[in-house]
Amino acid sequence: MASLTRTPAWRELVAHRRSWEQRSLRELFAADPQRFQRFSLEACGLLLDHSKNLIVAETLDLLLALADERGLQNQIRDLLAGKRVNTTEKRAAWHSALRAGADAPREVRNTLTAMRKLATALRDNKTGDGGNRAITDVVSLGIGGSVWGPALAAAACAPDTVAPRVHFITTPGESLDRLLGTLDAATTLFIVQSKSFSTHETLLNAQAARAWLQASGIADHGPHFAAVTAQSATAAAFGVPSERIFPMWDWVGGRYSLWSAVGLPAMIAMGADAFDELLAGAADMDMHFATAAPGKNMPVLLALIGLWHANFFNMASRAVIPYQPGLELLPVWLQQLEMESLGKSVSRRGKPLRQDSGPVLWGSAGTEGQHAYFQLLHQGTRPVPVDFISSCSPRSKSSLGGPSAGARDAEQAHAVMLSNCFAQSALLMHGVSAAETEQALLQQGLSAREAARLAPHQALPGNRPSNTLLLPVLDARSLGALLALYEHRCFVQSAIWDINAFDQWGVEHGKRLAGSLLPEFTSTVPSAAHDSSTDGLVNYSKQHNRRT
């Protein structure tokens, strides 16, 4: 693939970028009352409003020409057909096959059947130890892609599930100890979630769980363990009964694995039918991605607009801000998806990139964020493109599974949330000029001198881009579509930037170095094998460790 920045389409975009020195979103909206209709799109039940981005029709035409020049349609076809798009590991990235329903590979369908069998039995209180006491608590032990997808899906679709309760533990030590202190070993099932079955944190937690069962007088651990992994033999050696080992495959990337058996804890929390809905929502988005014309293709448009802001406006970070209870974990899930996929500096052929790749992604629940970091979003010197995500109606009582406030209260709370969500994106776009601010201050009765003094501090520059994504309601199907949308957005950017979105070599060195540092914490010999800072930190922390 030609070097991106040397392509004709890229050069056209560079020229077009210059025209944005004179443009403002405020003027574009004033000049075109149809701007929202022109730059919004519905697909798979979702609405994308991309009208508040630094785009005009010509911008999208040029970006679509770039996508065409990069052979995007063929790349999408290869991805969805299960071709080896993971060029460094020579593997497919065929997460779409996991939600292909009847067309899914046999091993996928068989695994879903086995997942459904266990999840239904657990929800029907039909499994337990030899004494047949029902399992009351399921503890998922996993990290990264082996936790964020199912934790997000469970929080979004079944936050109040009680039979059985589903817990997610990532970090060894305190959090597991604290949880185990509240559980009954006889009615607890651990699911060890690890594609590699070698992730240190997860294995430490699994060993701690086994020791806890032992200490609780449970000799036969088998009924209290299940595993989700691509390393079945290792899981069996750990002591997980073979009928409780759910396979993963090397063609499923960890951060794309919610749809596989990694989703088992979510299926237990939300029920097998709801999990099927999650898969169906994602399959809807796969079909849209595969068939919609690029200019009407939601993942393609989101990706290209994101690339435009990142590469042509040097916006080094982007924020994803859900105004939606149940989506608090979305930014965490997306951080891994995008930063582990797009945090690359060489092309698929190993050549250094000539332009930036993935921006830093951050975010949190909007209602809280607006009382924390929105100050910078509105008045900081570095514009940050934002994705606002919400829904048109509050979650139904039935989908929540627990007692909830009255319908009118829920509607009221939802309207408050939507009004804040829409107000923030409007102000980021529109801004409030110093003159308007001064006028307002005068109308509040301030003196001309005081108004002039305060106006620059209170004015909002505006012209700050954002997308708004609206779900009809947050449920399993809309969540499936939303997450698949972001997976495909991520792929499109990797395709244009010519990077491999499906490997993560950069995380391996840290694991190895941490492994070599660990024994030094129990050694009586001062650390002296590293740089002076690392040695210094190891020795200082050992000297100041109050427990030893």
Query: Which residues form the catalytic set?
Result: 340, 371, 511
Listed in order, strand segments (DSSP E) in 105-241 are 137-141, 165-169, 188-193, 225-229
Using CB under 6 A as the binding rule, whether residue 369 contacts ligand F6P is answered as no
CA 409 to chain centre: 30
- What is the per-residue binding string for ligand F6P in 242-281, x denoting contact by CB under 6 A? ------------xx--------------------------
* CB of residue 201 to ligand F6P, shortest distance in Å: 8
Decide whether 117 or 200 has the Cβ nearer to ligand F6P: 200
* CB of residue 113 to ligand F6P, shortest distance in Å: 23
* CB of residue 229 to ligand F6P, shortest distance in Å: 8
The closest alpha carbon to 94, from 211, 204, 251, belongs to 251
DSSP assignment string, 469-538: EEEEE-SHHHHHHHHHHHHHHHHHHHHHHT--TT--GGGHHHHHHHHHHGGGGT-SSPP-SS-HHHHHHH
Using CB under 6 A as the binding rule, whether residue 306 contacts ligand F6P is answered as no
Using CB under 6 A as the binding rule, whether residue 334 contacts ligand F6P is answered as no
Decide whether 127 or 336 has the Cβ nearer to ligand F6P: 336
Sheet strands side by side (includes 137-141): 165-169, 137-141, 188-193, 225-229, 245-247
* CB of residue 255 to ligand F6P, shortest distance in Å: 5
Q: Which of 53, 170, 199, 399 binds ligand F6P (CB under 6 A)?
A: 199
Query: Which residues within the stretch 395-434 sit at the binding site for ligand F6P (CB under 6 A)?
Result: none
Tokens linked to 188: 């607890």
Angle between helices 298-307 and 57-69 (to 10 degrees): 100
Q: Looking at beta carbons, which pairs linking 88-91 to residues 24 or more positions away fall under 8 Å?
A: 88/348, 88/500, 88/503, 88/505, 89/250, 89/502, 89/503, 91/250, 91/251, 91/502
List, in order, residues 6 or more apart from 73 with CB less than 8 Å away. 294
Using CB under 6 A as the binding rule, whether residue 462 contacts ligand F6P is answered as no
* CB of residue 473 to ligand F6P, shortest distance in Å: 29
Using CB under 6 A as the binding rule, whether residue 195 contacts ligand F6P is answered as yes
Decide whether 125 or 196 has the Cβ nearer to ligand F6P: 196
Q: What are phi and psi of 314, to 5 degrees?
A: 50, 40
Sign of CA dihedral 74, 77, 82, 85: positive
User: From the CB of residue 130, how many other CB atoms can be counted at a distance below 10 Å?
Assistant: 10
Tokens linked to 483: 């997450």
Pairing of strands 40-43, 386-393: unpaired
Decide whether 72 or 261 has the Cβ nearer to ligand F6P: 261
Q: In angstroms, rounded to a whole number, what is the distance separating the alpha carbons of residues 25 and 467?
A: 13
Tokens linked to 351: 């050549």
- What is the per-residue binding string for ligand F6P in 155-194, x denoting contact by CB under 6 A? ---------------------------------------x
Using CB under 6 A as the binding rule, whether residue 196 contacts ligand F6P is answered as yes
* Stretch in the footprint of ligand F6P (CB under 6 A) among 68-76, 142-150, 389-397, 439-447: 142-150
Decide whether 201 or 286 has the Cβ nearer to ligand F6P: 201
Q: Which of 145, 172, 281, 465 binds ligand F6P (CB under 6 A)?
A: 145
Query: Which residues within the stretch 503-542 sit at the binding site for ligand F6P (CB under 6 A)?
Result: 504, 507
Using CB under 6 A as the binding rule, whether residue 150 contacts ligand F6P is answered as no
* Stretch in the footprint of ligand F6P (CB under 6 A) among 20-28, 141-149, 154-162, 352-360: 141-149
Q: In angstroms, rounded to a whole number, what is the distance separating the alpha carbons of residues 181 and 33?
A: 60
Q: What are phi and psi of 48, to 5 degrees?
A: -110, 120
* CB of residue 478 to ligand F6P, shortest distance in Å: 24
Using CB under 6 A as the binding rule, whether residue 202 contacts ligand F6P is answered as yes
CB 43 within 8 A of CB 298: yes
* CB of residue 199 to ligand F6P, shortest distance in Å: 3
Applying CB under 6 A, the residues found at the interface with ligand F6P are 143-146, 194-196, 199, 202, 254-255, 340, 504, 507
